[in-house]
Structure 1
């Protein structure tokens, strides 16, 4: 079966900042955050249960642009982060919005750990907030506040680890169990949570020479990939042994040759791992999405160029669908977004489409 692609109806009206599939295996629900100050909840299936243009289920307005969104314990619970400095929980059944924690600057990322029942946010105030989600109410447990050496640009987690990619090419890897324990020690008399100096499990310097744009963890809890503004991706493993560290590598991608023969380099804005095959997708400012086999160091395939910069990518929990958020990345120096250029494409993948060259 060849891949089948369609676009979702009722896309955002401004640039897409993030999109995420529901963590539930058979779900076709997806959430999208945008600079238009809204979070959108879609289902790929229409009223008749057919996968096609899908339908917009709900839309939640915020006070400022929303920079990230993720699902929580189930597909009826989402968390948002943005330029209003707040991390919010939204109950999709009741439409109730609750502020979980407030930073002192814009919040760039938010992730949820189902194994440890914590929500973790990274802000341009150079802190992480770690908040419990199983306490009944948000006032029962204030967040643990972890200072960072510089601003976080992207965060990603596995069942046991949290990877934080920051400015100055700094990268911290934290033990999630240790972070979850901090929330139980938060000072309930403090209005801003408990500021805690935490030693990372590992400190690393990015293998990439330029600013990190995105980091994504492997589904097998063994490592991560990171990308830069300068058209490169690095693949690394957690295991600190010399043998394992010798396996790390970086490669060039998302580059186009101009008509006069000049190599034009684009930022790699988005990365996502396939939950079954372990391959990963990259999306770039050149409007291209490529699938990579990180083990055999090969490109599996590259899709036809999209009409604008790729802002976000994600695989469904089953691995059957790949969602691609497309919106101008301002590589052309223009900051206005014409109507109709922001789109969400969804590819229904064949069984072998994202399988690596050496996979069985």
Structure 2
């Protein structure tokens, strides 16, 4: 195992860390300091940075030269790193919370607090569809042609991107607010987390036999003085080959789980503050970890707030392969 911190991290809350789906060299990072930063992790160098007018809530890389990002300014910005040029692709009526690249459909998908998701064609960037959701969009992910959206009030919608007619309506099996959703690389289902230290493993197939496989479990909790402290599970990232996944919590811990055998494979050391975002690279050998204070354990004075950091951890087969 080896781990190092990236040089020149953001100066305010880190909202997202994303590798692109082909390369393990470049990491895109968005932040509440209004910046979008591209790092070369092979040389531990900040390669490029540009800024929105307001905090940035999410971002994605389509390749090493093209990024998309959005946030509180409600604008979807494309940045071409070869040309060093930014382009306004479109807008929502409220903050853009999710910016996701669907590789199989070659689409950018945005989810907003305005209760809409929008699909954007990356080849001639323009909006090719706008779809109302039951509430503010908090999280989304795709696998093949399925789009899974988590909104406020624990609502889940599963859309078929080949036919964006009537989505399948579900409700989270967890009792508290949804924080993150990620789809299994094997396309069989998805994992969702909540603000109340729980994770649920769900399956797409509504056949009763398949539905019996679903379950939920507690995590990111700490026993202290006969009390149990419960932390939000902010981040989920899947290992593309093994279908195991990492979770990051506001307790500053990262765990890797085997969903098939219902066990924890490993737990990393404690990080200085809460984990706000995680991302495995395409090979599953590297995990980017954002350790960033986001006020989930109350206010601290400025001199008490830990610095924001991004850790790059080389992970082993022992840590990620199902037992």
TM-score normalized by the length of structure 1: 0.87
Distance 1:340 1:207, change over 3 A: closer
Distance in 1 of aligned mates of 2:169 and 2:211: 14
Determine helix, strand or coil for the equivalent of 2:163: helix
Matches of 2:187 and 2:76, distance apart in 1: 26
2:81 corresponding residue in structure 1 = 92
Find the partner of 1:227 among 193, 212, 228: 193
Determine if the alignment matches structure 1 residue 22 to structure 2 residue 17. Answer: no
Indicate conservation of the 8 Å contact 2:6/2:309, yes or no.
yes
Post-superposition offset of 1:337: 5.3
Query: Whose Rg is larger?
Result: 1
Query: Could you tell me how far 1:294 is from its partner in structure 2?
Result: 0.6
- The structure with more strand, counted as a fraction of residues: 2
Q: Which residue of 2 aligns with 1:349?
A: 315
Which has the higher mean CA deviation after the structures are superposed, 248-257 or 158-167?
Answer: 158-167
Post-superposition offset of 1:335: 5.9
Offset of 1:177 from its aligned partner?
A: 2.1
CA distance in 2, matches of 1:235, 1:13: 34
Whole-Å separation in 1 of the counterparts to 2:301 and 2:101 = 33
Q: Is the 8 A contact 2:72 2:94 kept in 1?
A: yes
Report what 2:247 is aligned to.
Answer: 282
Unaligned runs of 5+ in 1: 47-53, 180-197
Secondary structure of 1:45 counterpart: coil
Matches within 5 A, 1:72-151: 72=62, 74-135=63-124, 138=125, 141-151=126-136
Name stretches of at least 5 consecutive residues in structure 2 with no aligned partner.
none
Quick one: which of 196, 199, 202 aligns to 2:166?
199
Q: Give 3-state SS (helix, strand or coil) of 1:177's partner.
A: coil
1:331 Cα deviation from its structure 2 partner? 2.6
Offset from partner CA, 1:275-310 (integer Å, 9 cap, x none): 111100000000000000011110000111111000
Cα distance in structure 1, aligned partners of 2:82 and 2:152: 38
Distance in 2 of aligned mates of 1:329 and 1:114: 30
Cα distance in 1 for residues equivalent to 2:3 and 2:107? 35
Cross-structure match for 2:38 = 41
Contact 2:292 2:306 in 1 (8 A): no
For 2:193 and 2:307, locate their aligned partners in 1 and report how far apart those are by CA, in whole Å. Answer: 25
Q: CA RMSD in A?
A: 1.4
Question: How far apart, in 2, do the equivalents of 1:335 and 1:177 lie?
Answer: 48
Instruction: Give 1:340 deviation, angstroms.
Output: 6.2
How many residues align? The count is: 322
Query: 1:191: which partner in 2?
Result: none
Instruction: Give the aligned partner of residue 304 of structure 1.
Output: 269
Contact 1:38–1:66 (CA<8 Å) still a contact in 2? yes
User: Could you tell me how far 1:62 is from its partner in structure 2?
Assistant: 0.7
Q: Give the match for residue 187 of structure 1.
A: none
How far does the alpha carbon of each residue in 1:31-86 deviate from its partner, in whole angstroms, 9 at most, with x for none? 0000000011001111xxxxxxx1100001111000000112x2211110100101
Could you tell me which residue of structure 2 aligns to residue 192 of structure 1? none
Instruction: Tell me the TM-score normalised to structure 2 length.
Output: 0.96
